[in-house]
Amino acid sequence: MSIPLSQASQQQPAATRSAWGTVARFAVLVALYVVIVHVLPRPAAIKPEGWRLLGIFAATVCGLILQPVPGGAVVLMAITIVSVWGGLSIQQALAGYADPTVWLVMAAFFISRALINTGLARRIALGFVRWFGKSTLGVSYALAMSDMVLASIIPSNAARSGGVVLPILRSIAELYGSRPGPTAALIGSFLFTSVYQSICVTAAMFFTGQASNPLAAQIAGQQGYSVTWSSWFLAGIVPGLCSLAIIPPLMLKLNPPAIRKTPEAAAFAASELRAMGPMKGSEWLLAAVFVSVCGFWVTSGVHGIDITVTALFGSAVLLVTGVLKWEDVKGERAAWDIFIWYGGLLRLGKALNDAGVTSEFAKAVGSAFASYGWVTLFVVALLIYFYAHYGFASITAHILAMYPAFLAVLLAKGAPVGLVVYSFACFTNLAAGLTHYGTTPSPMYFAHDYVSFGRWWRVGFVVSLMNIAIWCTIGFAWWKLIGYW
């Protein structure tokens, strides 16, 4: 089939521009590598291959931001390159894919696929709406609580917040005739801002709240501080619930809806649940696995069974019983994409630490701020770290670019390790609420066009002040009480 000449002439410049854009982005990565390796002075304590490794790592993080090719491809190329120029053998470079944390994330993704496929995740969300959805405020709380429960085991905020919660949110808005445009303010605009800000909090509350949280835990482990599912849960539950309690009433002030009573929402949820029928055998079995896996994660310190083993065993039970099909596992594209970039990034980060790059950076910054105590440096660094997320469209890229460095610097200054580890890890997720591109669900919510750009950013900034205030007072006090610092 031939393409008309006029159409071809329109397509070719677009294709050419796309190709040149890809080349330009790769050129930026190469330039960054060259500047680091051949222009910046190399500390005597770091070997040449370690310095080249730093250049590759920095270019990789930049590649995750610029995306000349998908992120997984960027990391795979970096893993290949470090086996040639970064001082690692190919066996060492690929070792990240055998890391238990990577397989924990994979197993959690498989269980989450079963939750979505069987309808159990949607049933949980509809149940909350039926119980608490008789007011606009109640609907917001119900959807936030649904996401919180699912965050305990679903590490993809796109899958649970975008795939489960968002469709129910949109259905409720339309139930009241609230659509993008003049009627958005009836209820939809309020719900979209309130629920989105809430899902950023739930992402901060759990080890599995967001796919990059285990990465932060792994980086903390390299500094000798162990972060487990139960320890993260204990850290996040109190300040997280406080934030979740305040966000909807705050949204009533910042983005007030015209409709305050929503009895139809509860009736809608009840009718949807009736249409789904009673829980099927597969849902009951999945619910048992869900509760068991979470129970074993919480009590891992008692019985000593690794949480990755528990998650893999839960996935195996679902496969054996047919609740989860092998085709589902093969078709879980998001999980396999994360497997590639996550395992690679874990290895690159560990290699940087082993090469002494992180410790040298900490020494250099520590000497520059020698006149300041750790408290002053901690406060300044935390605020800089939080609002730097305006420049990131990925929580993963933010963690990789800044978390290891700030962690090393503050620990070198004598800051309490638990305070630093959890505050920076949790704040990365909270900061995603600043913009309409801060994490994967951001554009999914913003694209529904219920909330203007200006309102989204204004709400994000005000909520950020509230979250910082809560987590830096109640959160830090709670962590002190439970002995984290």
What's the confidence (pLDDT) of residue 8?
43
Are 109 and 331 in contact by the 8 Å Cβ rule? The answer is no
Are 172 and 191 in contact by the 8 Å Cβ rule? The answer is yes
Q: How far apart are alpha carbons 25 and 173 in whole angstroms? A: 40
Grade residue 362 by pLDDT with cuts at 50, 70 and 90.
Answer: low
Are 427 and 385 in contact by the 8 Å Cβ rule? The answer is yes
What's the confidence (pLDDT) of residue 284?
95
Query: pLDDT per residue over 223-240, tens digit each?
Result: 889 999 999 999 999 999
Grade residue 465 by pLDDT with cuts at 50, 70 and 90.
Answer: very high
Grade residue 141 by pLDDT with cuts at 50, 70 and 90.
Answer: very high
pLDDT at 4 > cutoff 50? no
Helical spans, DSSP H, in 223-373? 229-254, 263-276, 281-298, 300-303, 307-321, 326-330, 333-354, 357-368
What's the confidence (pLDDT) of residue 287?
92
Percentage of the chain modeled with pLDDT above 90:
49
What's the confidence (pLDDT) of residue 92?
92
DSSP 8-state assignment for residue 135: B
What's the confidence (pLDDT) of residue 15?
58
pLDDT at 396 > cutoff 60? yes
Grade residue 463 by pLDDT with cuts at 50, 70 and 90.
Answer: very high
Q: Rounded to whole angstroms, what are the CA distances from 133 to 124, 252, 264, 265?
A: 13, 16, 8, 6
* Residue 128 CB contacts under 8 Å (≥ 6 apart), including other chains: 142, 143, 145, 146, 149
Grade residue 3 by pLDDT with cuts at 50, 70 and 90.
Answer: very low
What's the confidence (pLDDT) of residue 372?
80
Percentage of the chain modeled with pLDDT above 70:
95
Cβ neighbours of 245 (radius 10 Å): 13
Grade residue 282 by pLDDT with cuts at 50, 70 and 90.
Answer: very high
pLDDT at 459 > cutoff 70? yes
Mean per-residue pLDDT for 148-168? 85
* Phi (first) and psi of residue 135, to 5 degrees: -140, 160
Lowest model confidence (mean pLDDT) among 61-65, 96-100, 376-380, 428-432: 61-65
More confident residue, 478 or 342: 478
pLDDT at 218 > cutoff 60? yes
Mean per-residue pLDDT for 417-433? 96
What's the confidence (pLDDT) of residue 316?
95
pLDDT at 278 > cutoff 90? yes
In the chain, where are the structural domains located?
22-88, 119-277+356-481
What's the confidence (pLDDT) of residue 187?
93
Cβ neighbours of 280 (radius 10 Å): 14
- Of these ranges, 177-191, 385-399, 467-481, the one predicted with the greatest mean pLDDT is 467-481
Mean per-residue pLDDT for 73-83? 93
Mean per-residue pLDDT for 317-339? 90
Nearest to 402 by CA among 379, 428, 378: 428
Grade residue 16 by pLDDT with cuts at 50, 70 and 90.
Answer: low
DSSP 8-state assignment for residue 119: T
Beta bridge partners of 135: 261
Sign of the dihedral through C-alpha 389, 430, 444, 337: positive
pLDDT at 6 > cutoff 60? no
Grade residue 171 by pLDDT with cuts at 50, 70 and 90.
Answer: confident
Mean per-residue pLDDT for 131-142? 91
For 49, the token pair is 């291959």
What's the confidence (pLDDT) of residue 189?
96
Three-class SS state of 370: coil
Average pLDDT, the chain: 88
Q: What is the 3-state secondary structure (H, E, C) of 314-352?
A: HHHHHHHHCCCCHHHHHCCHHHHHHHHHHHHHHHHHHHH
